[in-house]
Amino acid sequence: MKKITLFFLLAILANISFSQEQQENLTPTPNYKLATKFSPRNLAKMVHSTTVQPHWLESGNRFWYQYKTSEGSNYYIVDADKRTKKKLFDNAKMAKWLTEITKDPYDAKHLPKFNFEFVDNDTAIRFKLTSNEEVEVVEEKDKKETDSTQTDSTKTKKEKKKAPKMEKKKYFLEYKLGSDGLTILENEKEKKEPWKKWANVSPDSTVVLFSKNHNLYWMDKENFLKVVENEKDTTIVENQWTTDGERYFGYGGSDKEESNPTKPADTTKREAIRGYWSHDSKKFVFARRDSRHIKDLWVINSVAKGRPELETYKYHMAGEPEFYKTSILIFDMPSKDVTTVQLDSTVQQTIGIYSHQYKKTDKSEHKPRLLLSEKDKVYFSTVSRDRKRLDIQVADINTGEVKTIIEDHFNTYVDKKNIVLLNNETEILHWSERDGWGHFYLYDANGKFKNQVTSGEFHVDDFKGIDEKTRTVYFVATGVNKDEDPYYEHLYKVNLNGSGFKCLNEGDYNNSIDLSDSNLYFINNYSRVNTTPKSELRNSNGSVILELEEADLSQLMAAGYKFPEPFKLKAADGITDLYGVMYKPYDFDETKKYPILEYVYPGPQTEAVNKSFSVSMHNTDRMAQVGFIVVTVGNRGGHPARSKWYHTYGYGNLRDYGLEDKKYVAEQLADKYNYIDIDKVGIYGHSGGGFMSTAAMLVYPDFFKVAVSSAGNHDNTIYNSWWSETHHGIKEVIGANDKISYKYNIDKNQSLVRNLKGKLMLVTGDIDNNVHPASTIRVADALIKANKRFDFMVMPGQRHGFGHMYEYFFWLKADYFSKYLLGVEVTDTDIKEMNIDVPKKY
């Protein structure tokens, strides 16, 4: 009996030992070599153009575009009316001509990148080219009179002491389409209009506005041309218009403080003023914002040259009682009178002025910002502090009298888009989510409702164009076809009375649309995450006119690339459909057990889930090559391209709203695929994703084992008020004497730090002026006080996106997940993968 018992005991021990060894064999080995192979640097060598980006021409329904493949770049001109696509020029001939002119070698596959300007009724192109030949800089002669006391011999001595300035020779060239050569143009023929960065030039070019000492100044055309010729000309006349401007309550210019020592920026120089011109150049409308009472915020650049630099800026945080105060001023050019638009200055609100949209075919060098209306009206919107009320208003440009024409109120927040004026400005097309979905509504100019233009359980996303003769609206919408991913964008048209609804680019793909000014044609770039991108030209009935391009993925596929896999699963309510993408290692072995990583961004303004083919976004596919299954998936409370309910699900619970869905999706995937190890779940994200990944570790500490959280807004009480108050909500409270105050309360990540069980790395840029480093540091402080082990990294001198240190950050994440999920710690001092192909300096 004892022998039998001993036998079984040995068998059990042997089985346990075998299981542990087997488990180790099932865990993949980190493959840094494969992740390096598909780095951004290497991908740029394998994948070139994936979309057609048209440059529409002024004459006819024509456009040109560049498209790059593994054979080099080609330039094409397309005539939609004639259904023709031709090369703009012969590459071999162009290379020959450029070589002969510049003496620099070119060939057909290696032409420079051109930026063409079409001239002579679009029959010729002009472009600038810089050669390697160095020539002496030709300085303009000083317009001042020469000092009479300076003799010719003195001048000669001074001139001899100066070495000539050298620069690379520039060529201005012209090519007449179909001709057999290039013409070298004189430089003066290629000069653009003399716009200065600080100059706000009226549409008729007679008046120039600018800011100086926080005030508004103006000069006429004659004096502006003097400035262009010689800024030191003492005869220049500039006229001061306002006198009450001051720092943080001025008329244009910059309020940014200089760094170290802290002092106001130099305001004695001319600076820009942004505003809106009337189409006839007689009025200038300026939104003047008072931010004097908004509190300061600071970051310190420790790696600046010399002493560390302090940067000070105004930053309004969620829940703070102060708010920006904006007024709208109308400046009359002929009389120099100033009219104030009649607004209630005691109400906390955000004001936005609607502007004119230029046509794509308008190639004018001078495009001042214009008012939306061509008549005596200023259309603008006001959004209440709690973001629950949107009023679309119109002001009389001569009197400043205001009328509210459209109102949108909601119990959460109101999203808004631009309005469209049509039918000689007697009608207004307005976008609203008032029935739970984004749709168009038609009003008359006085705000009288006429009819709902689109309706149904789908989301109208973007206005593209309108044919006023046929009263047809062209727009992008999502979710119309219930048999495909509801995020896939398609182009539709509908009559203003709601009839004639039609999809113009059907197919189970996500589409990117560029509609011509004539509304007769559009370029359609389409793909999914698991298909090769293609481009085509269609007409306004949806018929394909020309097949334009198919992306060249030959080198990518030859290197071993494999498409990711889209999927659809349920949210944690068991009802809502969620859509995601799964990325696998290209050396995937289904007999292995892979840790699963979730790359997250909670929204609500977007979701970090690719819908079209991409080889670079988020580095998700690259992270998978290290040895993980990486997934991105939406969550309730995410992307606005679905119902208002879906979009605002997290309202009032902006920390935890998406976590349950992320957890439930990982569990469903593990149930479906044996190769996913549900006991090894990692999570990472940036900004909102940094906040969400840390929250996941603290709300579900037994499920999420490892997180890398970068630039996270962990404490939304110190994040910007727009995002926090909009998506979480702020309560307007009416107190005694009708005094209004605002209450804001939101859960913070640091309040849950005692729950931490897994491995957490926090990362921030030290001069992040979007999500302040304090948000990350406060979590670190709480973790230390709770006696928790964690990792912390600062990216010196980096803003919110980490800039040139992002590649370093990628390998930091890879190391962290490799150590704690794959069981392999990289101990080399050098990140060897970053040193590959980097020229060594001796």
Whole-number Å distance between alpha carbons of 732 and 409 = 14
Strands 84-87 and 72-79 turn out to be: antiparallel
First to last CA, the chain: 77
**Assigned domain for 320 exists:** yes
Residue 689 sits in a domain of what CATH number? 3.40.50.1820
- The predicted pLDDT at position 164 comes to 85
- The domain containing residue 320 runs over which residues? 195-416
Does residue 452 sit within a domain? no
Q: Are residues 821 and 814 in contact, defined by beta-carbon separation less than 8 angstroms?
A: no
Number of domains in the chain: 2
Where does a domain end: 375, 392, 416?
416
Asked whether residue 66 is domain-assigned, the answer is: no
Among 386, 416, 446, the domain-final residue is 416
How many C-beta neighbours within 10 Å does residue 335 have?
Answer: 8
Domain C-terminal end among 366, 391, 416: 416
Residue 269 located in a structural domain: yes
Q: How far apart are CA 804 and CA 288, in angstroms?
A: 36
CB within 8 Å of 431: residues ≥ 6 apart: 416, 417, 418, 419, 438, 439, 440, 441, 460, 463
pLDDT of amino acid 327: 97
Phi, psi for 249 (deg, rounded to 5): -155, 55
Beta strands in 55-97 (DSSP E): 55-56, 62-69, 72-79, 84-87
Q: The domain spanning residue 261 has which CATH number?
A: 2.140.10.30
Residue 643 falls within a domain, yes or no? yes
Q: 252 lies in a domain?
A: yes
Residues of the chain short of pLDDT 70, as ranges, are 1-24, 139-161, 187-194, 257-267, 617-618, 837-842
**pTM value?**
0.92
d(CA 643, CA 486) in angstroms, rounded, equals 10
User: Among residues 286, 272, 371, 297, which one has the least CA distance to residue 326?
Assistant: 286
DSSP secondary structure code for residue 751 in this structure: G
Q: Which residue has the tokens 């190639």?
A: 363
CA distance linking residue 616 with residue 614, whole number of Å = 6
The label of the residue with tokens 């046929």 reads 470
Query: Does the residue 122 lie in any domain?
Result: no
Specify if 735 maps to a domain: no
- pLDDT of amino acid 213: 94
